[in-house]
Amino acid sequence: MALNIVHRGRVALATAGNPLRHVFRAERVARHAPELAGVGPRPIRSAAVIGGGTMGTGIAAALCNAGLPLVIVERDEAAMEGAQARLRAIFDGAVKRRRISAGLAAERLARVTGATDYAVLAEADLIIEAVFEDLDVKRDVFRNVGAACRHDAVLATNTSYLDPERIADGIASPERFLGLHFFSPAQVMKLLEIVPTGATAPEALATGFALARMLNKIPVRAGISDGFIGNRILKVMRSQAERLLVTGATPSAVDAAMRAFGLPMGPFEAQDLGGLDIAAFQRRAARARGLPVFAPVADRLCAIARFGQKSGGGWYDYVPGHRTPLPSEAVARLIEEEAQGWPRLDWDEASIIDCILWPMVNEAARIVEDGTALRPSDIDLVEIHGYGFPRWRGGLMHHAQSQGLDRIVAALGAFAEKGLADPPSTLLVRAAAQGRFSEALR
């Protein structure tokens, strides 16, 4: 189709330098925040996690694997039993996969204490809150934490969308507080977005980077904005995927194209695996904050309780006991209803990839421009280590530059004329004119 402007494949990458070498250098640079030269972290000899859900127990397992004595705090005994069962299941799975021995798993679990009383936090060096993604709930947790912990303990919130400044509002010694956005499953995923507030002291920020080293994770410093770095780009990816649907593509065609590009899963398969209800909760919260959200079909799927594999159907149908996605006539009908008023386009694999990737690049350029990310290479690390972007392509921004930024600007203009994307951002236009992001950022 006419909009297929940019995608040129794997061979073009050679013109922009070695992508793997670029990623290696980016990982080394990201481990050292520029403002922390000469600043030492506070010691981390023990830790605590508040909340023993899926994310909390994943964080707890990562801390255990680093050899830290750990306390998990839950609201009551029943919740604590569930948290301990989830943590045991993580280590049982590691033993079954022969990643660790049964003896080592038992040794690590023996370092964990469960509690329902915040008084156990009195000696913890680092306390990570990992409760439900609700501002009032998180604030209440930190009121309790602040009354029980040491005045010099580093406090962190694990949040994927909420503003850490607002979570920290009213706590004692806000200079010791920061955001740590772990990615699920936290004991496996390598990325850690580190989000300081305006009050975060350099020593506390350095402690976040030191923790990433202890946990063998890739740290990326992120500024405060809705979704930080990764989820801002993910939101665009999902919106673009739905724009493709209402203009003639199918979920299976979109997923197949993104797998062909190199992603481990397409956007619709990934949503079915993770659960559409999770994204629906985040959309409701975003709308409550006055933010625009485009998810007409996803909203309708959630309204009829199609939440993905766990409910037997989401973007696809599933046979009980099997995870193979099957095309759904019910979903096709919903898409057809939502497509009224949209142009009907003929999408091929390359144009599907362009329609998803280049708006993601556009948003990433905004993220660099507004200071949420320090540099384009940090975007590359977030996408590779948090979202499965193919490492051999060098990351989202490196790949874009290898394809020609002027061509991407032209493609975005064509998509924007059809209502399929935002116009190219100021930084992207400037970078296209100068040939490289690095030149545009000087």
Taking only the tens place, the pLDDT of each residue in 95-122 is: 999 999 999 999 999 999 999 999 999 9
> What is the token pair recorded at 427?
């930084």
* pLDDT value of position 37: 85
pLDDT for 11 beyond 60: no
pLDDT for 429 beyond 80: yes
The rounded distance, in Å, linking the Cα atoms of 366 and 396 is 14
pLDDT for 299 beyond 60: yes
Mean pLDDT of 345-356: 97
- With 0-12 / 13-18 / 19 or more C-beta atoms within 10 angstroms meaning exposed / middle / buried, residue 38 is exposed
Q: How far is CA 325 from CA 177, 259, 349, in A?
A: 43, 14, 19
Average pLDDT, the chain: 93
Look-up of token digits 């405060």: 224
Task: Name the percent of the chain lying above pLDDT 90.
Answer: 88
Mean pLDDT of 44-50: 97
* pLDDT value of position 247: 98
pLDDT tens figures, 174-220 = 999 999 999 999 999 999 999 999 999 999 999 999 999 999 999 99
Mean pLDDT of 58-70: 96
The rounded distance, in Å, linking the Cα atoms of 7 and 4 is 7
- For residue 432, give the amino acid letter: A
Reported in sequence order, the residue ranges of 92-131 that DSSP labels E, i.e. its strands, are 112-115, 126-129
pTM of the model as a whole: 0.92
The answer to whether the CB of 431 falls within 8 A of the CB of 405 is yes
The answer to whether the CB of 220 falls within 8 A of the CB of 194 is yes
Task: Name the percent of the chain lying above pLDDT 70.
Answer: 96
pLDDT tens figures, 128-182 = 999 999 999 999 999 999 999 999 999 999 999 899 999 999 898 999 999 999 9
Cα angle 245-251-253, degrees, rounded to a multiple of 5 = 100
The rounded distance, in Å, linking the Cα atoms of 437 and 428 is 8
The rounded distance, in Å, linking the Cα atoms of 105 and 94 is 8
**288 — pLDDT class (breaks 50, 70, 90):** confident
* pLDDT value of position 442: 78
Q: Which residue has the higher pLDDT, 6 or 402?
A: 402
The string of DSSP codes covering 156-195 is EE--SSS-HHHHHTT-SSGGGEEEEEE-SSTTT--EEEEE
Whether the bond into 19 is cis, omega within 30 of 0:
no
